[in-house]
Structure formats: structure tokens, C-alpha cells
Amino acid sequence: MSTESAEVLIHLQNVSKFFYTEEVETHALEGTHLEICRGEYVAVAGPSGCGKSTLLSILGLLDTPTEGQYLLNGQPVESLQTSERARVRNREIGFIFQSFNLIGDLTVFENVELPLTYRGMRKPERKERVLNALERVGMAHRQNHLPSQLSGGQQQRVAVARALVGEPSILLADEPTGNLDSKNSDAVMGLLKELHQNGATICMVTHDARFVEVADRTIRLFDGRVVEDADNKGIDA
């Protein structure tokens, strides 16, 4: 996707992240430049320890860069105060984690509703949004179940609904199939592909080469640096 003709949603300029422990300096990311446009599907790939999770944490405002600038929707976010970062996260970013991160003593409906509750949204609007999100992932019929009553694939579908319910600018998926068997992995990836076709912007970290090719672009990291930014168009997924 040409960044000249598309709206740039995420812009990283010379972003680095260093960790310091007992006189050891670790460069998790170094001099990263990245743009993601609205409506793109970007896969982030690379070996373990290359900086993929650090990059996703910075994009999701769960961590801050040591150096560089991060613009989200044209606004600088790397220096926001904690409360403002939380507000932006809640409204702009949807997270899908490898371990699902559902709350065990809440029902499916309540898990998906939680981000909207934090916003102070009125109950009728919350209900409408939650049911719509659950319908989109095919889990409305399980809305009163607890996570422990669901399979791994079903739990990940609920996690996707929770990420979608707030209508975020971007979905960040960290190894979303990492804890699933091949059948459920294919089902969840099919769901993400469908969401993208309907306009969702997705940035996904994955180790699975099959799923890398589903994306529009592949960003490859090695030792904290972007070593490839490839257009996947023309690849049969």
C-alpha cells in the first residue's frame, strides 16, 4: 500500500529501546523506522529475541521508547502521562494475546464488555456493541459461558471480540495462534483475514511462515533492527 495515497496511522521515527541491567546494555530495538497505513495488515517476523514483542509493546503503549518518536493518528504519544496513555490504549488499540488473557470468573459477555465499562459507556450501548462483536466472531451463543467452559479456539475468538468491541484504530496481535492446534489456528487466522477485508488495520507478530503470507506486508526484525519490509501482494496465502 502506498503511504503517499493512504492515511498513515502509525509512524515510528528512529525508535530505539535499551534495557540496562548490572552494567549490561541490551538493545531490544535500534533505529526503527516504520509506517503502517489505515487498513493495512502487517506481519512482524523474526527469530526469538529479535525485538518483535518489544516493538508490539511500544506500538500498544505498554512500553515507551528510549529514543525516537511515535505518532499515532498523527499525535505524538511516546511522552504521554500514564493516565493519558491508558485512555489512548482503551480507545485506539485492540490487543489479541497468545494466552487469551480472559478473566476466569467473568462470563464471555462480561469479558468483552470490560473495555467499554472502563470508558464509562452507558449500559444499552455497551450491550449492543458486545453482542455485535460476539456475532462477528461467531460466539454470541456462548455469551453466558465462562472461559473455562470454552475450547482454546473459542477463547481466542472471544479475545478477538474483546479487541474489536471498542472499534479501535488498530488491532495488535501477539502470536494469536501460539497456543492453538492447527485447526483452531486456521480458524482464527481466517477470522483475522475477514476482519481485515472488512477494513480492520492489523499488526501481527507470528512465527508461522504460513500466516506471515496472509498479511499485506512483512516486517522482518533481526537483532533489534528492521532488515526487510516486503510487500506480500502476489503471494498466494
pLDDT score of 209: 84
Radius of gyration of the chain (CA): 18
Show the low-confidence residues of the chain (pLDDT under 70).
1-5, 234-237
CB 115 within 8 A of CB 80: no
Q: Nine-digit cell at 233?
A: 501482494
* CA distances, 155 to each of 13, 135, 145, 200 (Å): 36, 14, 11, 20
Residue-wise pLDDT for 112-142, tens only, equals 999 999 999 999 999 999 999 999 999 999 9
pLDDT score of 5: 54
User: CATH top-level class for 8-231?
Assistant: alpha beta
Q: Closest by alpha carbon to 173, among 119, 72, 87, 93?
A: 93
Rounded Cα distance, 144 and 110, in Å: 9
Give the global pTM.
Answer: 0.89
Own/partner pairs for 67-71, CB < 8 Å, 24+ apart?
67/14, 67/15, 67/16, 68/12, 68/13, 68/14, 68/15, 68/16, 68/31, 68/32, 69/11, 69/12, 69/13, 69/14, 69/15, 70/10, 70/11, 70/12, 70/13, 70/15, 71/8, 71/10, 71/11, 71/13
Residues 6+ apart with CB under 8 A from 116: 125, 126, 129, 130, 165, 166
Rounded Cα distance, 201 and 169, in Å: 7
Distance of CA 150 to the CA centre of its chain: 22
Domain definitions of the chain by residue range: 8-231
**β-bridge partners, 77:** none
Beta-strand ranges (E) seen in 107-224 are 170-174, 202-205, 217-222
Rounded Cα distance, 101 and 178, in Å: 13
